[in-house]
Protein backbone atom coordinates (compact mmCIF):
# COMPACT_ATOMS: atom_id res chain seq x y z
CA UNK A 1 0.00 0.00 0.00
CA UNK A 2 1.31 3.51 -0.85
CA UNK A 3 1.82 6.11 1.85
CA UNK A 4 2.59 9.82 1.84
CA UNK A 5 6.33 9.30 2.26
CA UNK A 6 6.66 6.91 -0.69
CA UNK A 7 9.85 7.14 -2.70
CA UNK A 8 9.69 7.05 -6.48
CA UNK A 9 11.97 7.11 -9.52
CA UNK A 10 15.69 7.41 -8.95
CA UNK A 11 15.13 8.25 -5.25
CA UNK A 12 14.66 4.51 -4.81
CA UNK A 13 18.33 4.18 -5.70
CA UNK A 14 20.08 7.27 -4.36
CA UNK A 15 19.87 10.15 -1.89
CA UNK A 16 21.28 12.61 -4.44
CA UNK A 17 21.59 12.87 -8.23
CA UNK A 18 24.65 14.49 -9.75
CA UNK A 19 25.03 15.70 -13.36
CA UNK A 20 27.69 17.59 -15.26
CA UNK A 21 26.32 17.94 -18.81
CA UNK A 22 23.25 19.25 -20.56
CA UNK A 23 21.79 17.15 -23.37
CA UNK A 24 22.38 13.63 -24.60
CA UNK A 25 23.26 12.14 -27.97
CA UNK A 26 21.38 8.91 -27.26
CA UNK A 27 18.04 10.43 -28.26
CA UNK A 28 15.77 8.07 -26.30
CA UNK A 29 12.14 8.77 -27.17
CA UNK A 30 10.98 8.34 -23.58
CA UNK A 31 13.72 10.53 -22.05
CA UNK A 32 12.59 12.26 -18.85
CA UNK A 33 15.58 14.62 -18.78
CA UNK A 34 14.79 15.90 -22.28
CA UNK A 35 11.13 16.40 -21.37
CA UNK A 36 12.12 18.23 -18.18
CA UNK A 37 14.76 20.51 -19.70
CA UNK A 38 13.40 21.10 -23.22
CA UNK A 39 9.61 20.97 -22.81
CA UNK A 40 8.87 21.73 -19.17
CA UNK A 41 11.61 24.17 -18.09
CA UNK A 42 12.80 25.30 -21.55
CA UNK A 43 16.42 25.45 -20.45
CA UNK A 44 17.61 24.35 -23.86
CA UNK A 45 16.06 23.97 -27.32
CA UNK A 46 15.45 20.62 -28.97
CA UNK A 47 18.27 20.93 -31.52
CA UNK A 48 20.79 21.71 -28.77
CA UNK A 49 19.58 18.85 -26.60
CA UNK A 50 20.99 16.32 -29.05
CA UNK A 51 24.46 17.69 -28.45
CA UNK A 52 25.96 17.16 -25.04
CA UNK A 53 27.49 20.24 -23.44
CA UNK A 54 29.57 20.28 -20.28
CA UNK A 55 28.32 22.37 -17.36
CA UNK A 56 31.77 23.50 -16.28
CA UNK A 57 30.70 24.61 -12.82
CA UNK A 58 29.30 21.15 -12.12
CA UNK A 59 32.43 19.48 -13.48
CA UNK A 60 34.66 21.39 -11.06
CA UNK A 61 32.33 21.28 -8.05
CA UNK A 62 33.60 19.75 -4.82
CA UNK A 63 30.99 17.57 -3.16
CA UNK A 64 30.16 16.87 0.47
CA UNK A 65 29.83 13.41 1.92
CA UNK A 66 26.17 12.61 1.29
CA UNK A 67 24.20 10.51 3.76
CA UNK A 68 23.77 7.61 1.35
CA UNK A 69 24.45 6.34 -2.15
CA UNK A 70 24.79 9.04 -4.84
CA UNK A 71 23.71 8.53 -8.46
CA UNK A 72 25.74 9.79 -11.41
CA UNK A 73 24.56 10.76 -13.95
CA UNK A 74 20.78 11.11 -13.85
CA UNK A 75 19.94 13.64 -16.59
CA UNK A 76 22.48 12.74 -19.29
CA UNK A 77 24.78 9.84 -20.04
CA UNK A 78 28.51 9.11 -20.06
CA UNK A 79 29.62 9.29 -23.68
CA UNK A 80 33.03 9.63 -25.35
CA UNK A 81 32.47 13.41 -25.71
CA UNK A 82 32.04 14.08 -21.97
CA UNK A 83 34.02 11.14 -20.58
CA UNK A 84 36.87 13.11 -19.02
CA UNK A 85 34.44 15.52 -17.36
CA UNK A 86 32.54 12.55 -15.96
CA UNK A 87 35.78 10.99 -14.66
CA UNK A 88 36.49 14.25 -12.84
CA UNK A 89 33.05 14.38 -11.22
CA UNK A 90 33.16 10.75 -10.09
CA UNK A 91 36.63 11.36 -8.67
CA UNK A 92 35.37 14.40 -6.73
CA UNK A 93 32.50 12.36 -5.31
CA UNK A 94 34.79 9.50 -4.31
CA UNK A 95 37.38 11.84 -2.82
CA UNK A 96 34.68 13.11 -0.46
CA UNK A 97 34.12 9.52 0.69
CA UNK A 98 30.89 8.89 -1.22
CA UNK A 99 29.51 5.63 -2.50
CA UNK A 100 28.65 6.21 -6.17
CA UNK A 101 26.06 4.51 -8.35
CA UNK A 102 27.06 4.92 -12.01
CA UNK A 103 24.07 4.60 -14.34
CA UNK A 104 24.60 4.38 -18.09
CA UNK A 105 23.64 2.95 -21.45
CA UNK A 106 27.28 2.08 -21.71
CA UNK A 107 29.83 2.75 -24.40
CA UNK A 108 32.46 0.03 -23.96
CA UNK A 109 35.36 2.49 -24.32
CA UNK A 110 33.91 4.68 -21.54
CA UNK A 111 33.36 1.74 -19.23
CA UNK A 112 36.91 0.50 -19.78
CA UNK A 113 38.27 3.94 -18.95
CA UNK A 114 36.19 4.14 -15.75
CA UNK A 115 37.23 0.65 -14.65
CA UNK A 116 40.86 1.51 -15.21
CA UNK A 117 40.63 4.87 -13.41
CA UNK A 118 38.69 3.67 -10.38
CA UNK A 119 39.95 0.11 -9.90
CA UNK A 120 41.55 0.89 -6.54
CA UNK A 121 38.31 2.31 -5.10
CA UNK A 122 35.93 -0.18 -6.74
CA UNK A 123 34.40 -1.14 -3.36
CA UNK A 124 32.63 2.26 -3.36
CA UNK A 125 31.33 2.03 -6.93
CA UNK A 126 28.29 0.22 -8.26
CA UNK A 127 27.68 0.08 -12.01
CA UNK A 128 24.04 -0.02 -13.09
CA UNK A 129 23.91 -0.54 -16.83
CA UNK A 130 20.66 0.00 -18.68
CA UNK A 131 19.65 -2.83 -21.01
CA UNK A 132 16.06 -2.30 -22.04
CA UNK A 133 15.71 -4.95 -24.80
CA UNK A 134 17.80 -7.22 -27.01
CA UNK A 135 15.92 -6.66 -30.28
CA UNK A 136 17.96 -4.29 -32.50
CA UNK A 137 14.91 -2.96 -34.39
CA UNK A 138 13.20 -1.99 -31.15
CA UNK A 139 16.35 -0.36 -29.76
CA UNK A 140 16.88 1.57 -33.00
CA UNK A 141 13.42 3.11 -32.69
CA UNK A 142 13.44 3.90 -28.96
CA UNK A 143 17.12 4.63 -28.28
CA UNK A 144 18.47 5.56 -31.73
CA UNK A 145 21.80 7.06 -30.64
CA UNK A 146 22.68 4.65 -27.84
CA UNK A 147 25.04 1.65 -28.08
CA UNK A 148 23.42 -1.62 -29.19
CA UNK A 149 22.72 -4.58 -26.93
CA UNK A 150 26.00 -6.37 -27.75
CA UNK A 151 28.12 -3.41 -26.66
CA UNK A 152 26.10 -3.00 -23.47
CA UNK A 153 26.42 -6.70 -22.64
CA UNK A 154 30.18 -6.55 -23.24
CA UNK A 155 30.37 -3.52 -20.95
CA UNK A 156 28.53 -5.39 -18.20
CA UNK A 157 30.88 -8.38 -18.55
CA UNK A 158 33.85 -6.08 -18.56
CA UNK A 159 32.88 -4.49 -15.21
CA UNK A 160 31.99 -7.84 -13.67
CA UNK A 161 35.20 -9.56 -14.76
CA UNK A 162 37.27 -6.70 -13.32
CA UNK A 163 35.68 -7.23 -9.91
CA UNK A 164 33.30 -4.23 -9.85
CA UNK A 165 29.83 -4.58 -8.36
CA UNK A 166 27.33 -4.79 -11.21
CA UNK A 167 23.65 -4.20 -11.61
CA UNK A 168 21.21 -3.85 -14.52
CA UNK A 169 18.27 -1.55 -15.11
CA UNK A 170 15.56 -2.89 -17.42
CA UNK A 171 13.61 0.35 -17.24
CA UNK A 172 11.73 1.00 -19.32
CA UNK A 173 11.36 -2.58 -20.46
CA UNK A 174 10.93 -2.35 -24.22
CA UNK A 175 10.08 -5.97 -25.04
CA UNK A 176 8.18 -7.62 -22.22
CA UNK A 177 8.05 -11.05 -23.92
CA UNK A 178 11.86 -11.26 -23.99
CA UNK A 179 12.51 -10.02 -20.45
CA UNK A 180 12.82 -13.45 -18.80
CA UNK A 181 15.25 -14.75 -21.45
CA UNK A 182 17.27 -11.51 -21.28
CA UNK A 183 17.46 -11.77 -17.48
CA UNK A 184 18.81 -15.34 -17.85
CA UNK A 185 21.49 -14.11 -20.22
CA UNK A 186 22.49 -11.20 -17.95
CA UNK A 187 22.42 -12.88 -14.53
CA UNK A 188 25.89 -14.51 -14.76
CA UNK A 189 27.42 -11.01 -14.97
CA UNK A 190 25.33 -9.35 -12.25
CA UNK A 191 26.60 -9.30 -8.68
CA UNK A 192 24.05 -6.86 -7.17
CA UNK A 193 20.59 -6.57 -8.74
CA UNK A 194 18.40 -6.37 -11.82
CA UNK A 195 15.77 -3.63 -11.57
CA UNK A 196 12.70 -3.86 -13.81
CA UNK A 197 10.25 -1.04 -14.48
CA UNK A 198 7.58 0.15 -16.88
CA UNK A 199 7.73 3.09 -19.27
CA UNK A 200 6.21 5.95 -17.27
CA UNK A 201 4.07 8.90 -18.41
CA UNK A 202 4.03 7.92 -22.08
CA UNK A 203 1.39 10.55 -22.90
CA UNK A 204 3.45 13.53 -21.78
CA UNK A 205 6.95 12.32 -22.63
CA UNK A 206 6.73 10.42 -25.91
CA UNK A 207 5.74 12.15 -29.13
CA UNK A 208 4.07 9.80 -31.59
CA UNK A 209 5.92 11.50 -34.45
CA UNK A 210 5.07 8.92 -37.13
CA UNK A 211 3.13 5.70 -37.69
CA UNK A 212 6.02 3.49 -36.57
CA UNK A 213 6.34 5.25 -33.23
CA UNK A 214 2.56 5.32 -32.78
CA UNK A 215 2.42 1.57 -33.32
CA UNK A 216 5.33 1.04 -30.92
CA UNK A 217 3.57 3.08 -28.23
CA UNK A 218 0.51 0.87 -28.69
CA UNK A 219 2.64 -2.27 -28.35
CA UNK A 220 4.34 -1.01 -25.19
CA UNK A 221 0.99 -0.14 -23.60
CA UNK A 222 -0.35 -3.65 -24.27
CA UNK A 223 2.83 -5.28 -23.02
CA UNK A 224 2.79 -3.37 -19.75
CA UNK A 225 -0.90 -3.88 -18.97
CA UNK A 226 -1.63 -4.93 -15.39
CA UNK A 227 -2.29 -8.48 -16.60
CA UNK A 228 1.09 -8.71 -18.36
CA UNK A 229 2.93 -7.21 -15.38
CA UNK A 230 1.37 -9.74 -13.01
CA UNK A 231 2.43 -12.57 -15.36
CA UNK A 232 5.99 -11.24 -15.50
CA UNK A 233 6.07 -10.96 -11.71
CA UNK A 234 5.07 -14.63 -11.44
CA UNK A 235 7.60 -15.70 -14.06
CA UNK A 236 10.47 -14.05 -12.19
CA UNK A 237 9.40 -14.88 -8.64
CA UNK A 238 12.20 -16.64 -6.84
CA UNK A 239 14.96 -14.94 -8.85
CA UNK A 240 16.80 -13.46 -5.91
CA UNK A 241 18.47 -10.53 -7.69
CA UNK A 242 15.27 -9.12 -9.23
CA UNK A 243 14.06 -5.75 -7.88
CA UNK A 244 10.80 -4.12 -8.97
CA UNK A 245 10.51 -0.38 -9.60
CA UNK A 246 7.59 1.47 -8.08
CA UNK A 247 5.63 1.30 -11.38
CA UNK A 248 5.48 -2.48 -10.95
CA UNK A 249 5.22 -2.61 -7.14
CA UNK A 250 1.99 -0.64 -7.43
CA UNK A 251 0.49 -3.22 -9.80
CA UNK A 252 1.48 -6.34 -7.88
CA UNK A 253 0.76 -4.90 -4.43
CA UNK A 254 4.26 -4.56 -2.99
CA UNK A 255 5.04 -1.77 -0.51
CA UNK A 256 6.88 1.21 -1.95
CA UNK A 257 10.16 2.30 -0.38
CA UNK A 258 9.74 4.91 2.36
CA UNK A 259 13.37 6.09 2.53
CA UNK A 260 15.53 7.30 -0.37
CA UNK A 261 18.63 5.45 -1.52
CA UNK A 262 17.87 2.03 -0.03
CA UNK A 263 18.40 0.46 -3.48
CA UNK A 264 16.41 -2.66 -2.63
S1 LIG B 1 20.47 7.91 -22.25
FE2 LIG B 1 19.25 8.78 -20.62
S3 LIG B 1 19.60 10.98 -20.72
FE4 LIG B 1 20.29 10.11 -22.66
S5 LIG B 1 18.53 10.35 -24.03
FE6 LIG B 1 18.45 8.29 -23.11
S7 LIG B 1 17.12 8.49 -21.31
FE8 LIG B 1 17.79 10.56 -21.91
The pLDDT assigned to 203 comes to 87
Cα 30 to middle of ligand 1, angstroms:
8
In the DSSP assignment, the letter for residue 166 is E
Residue ranges of the chain with per-residue pLDDT less than 70 = 1-6
Cα 231 to middle of ligand 1, angstroms:
28
Ligand 1 binding residues, C-beta < 6 A: 24, 26-28, 31, 33-34, 76-77, 105, 146
If you average pLDDT over every residue of the chain, what do you get?
94
d(CA 79, CA 77): 6
The pLDDT assigned to 6 comes to 67
Per DSSP, the residues of 43-107 read: SS-HHHHTS-EE-HHHHH------SS-EEE-SSS---GGGHHHHHHHHHHHHHTT--EEEEE---
pLDDT digits (tens, 9 = 90+) for 134-190: 999 999 999 999 999 999 999 999 999 999 999 999 999 999 999 999 999 999 999
Cα 175 to middle of ligand 1, angstroms:
18
Residue 27 DSSP SS3: coil
The pLDDT assigned to 2 comes to 38
What are the sequence ranges of the domains in the chain?
Answer: 9-252
CA-based end-to-end distance of the chain: 17
Sign (positive or negative) of CA dihedral 146, 196, 172, 58: negative
| CATH fold label, 9-252 | pyruvate-formate lyase- activating enzyme (3.80.30)
Cα 22 to middle of ligand 1, angstroms:
11
Amino acid sequence: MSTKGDIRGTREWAVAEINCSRGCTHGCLYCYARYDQVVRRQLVCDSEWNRCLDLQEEVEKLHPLYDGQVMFPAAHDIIPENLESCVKVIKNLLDAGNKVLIVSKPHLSCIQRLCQEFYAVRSRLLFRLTLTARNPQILKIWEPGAPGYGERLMSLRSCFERGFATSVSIEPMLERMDVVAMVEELLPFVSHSIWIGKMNKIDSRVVAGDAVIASEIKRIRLEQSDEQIKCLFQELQGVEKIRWKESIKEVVGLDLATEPGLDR
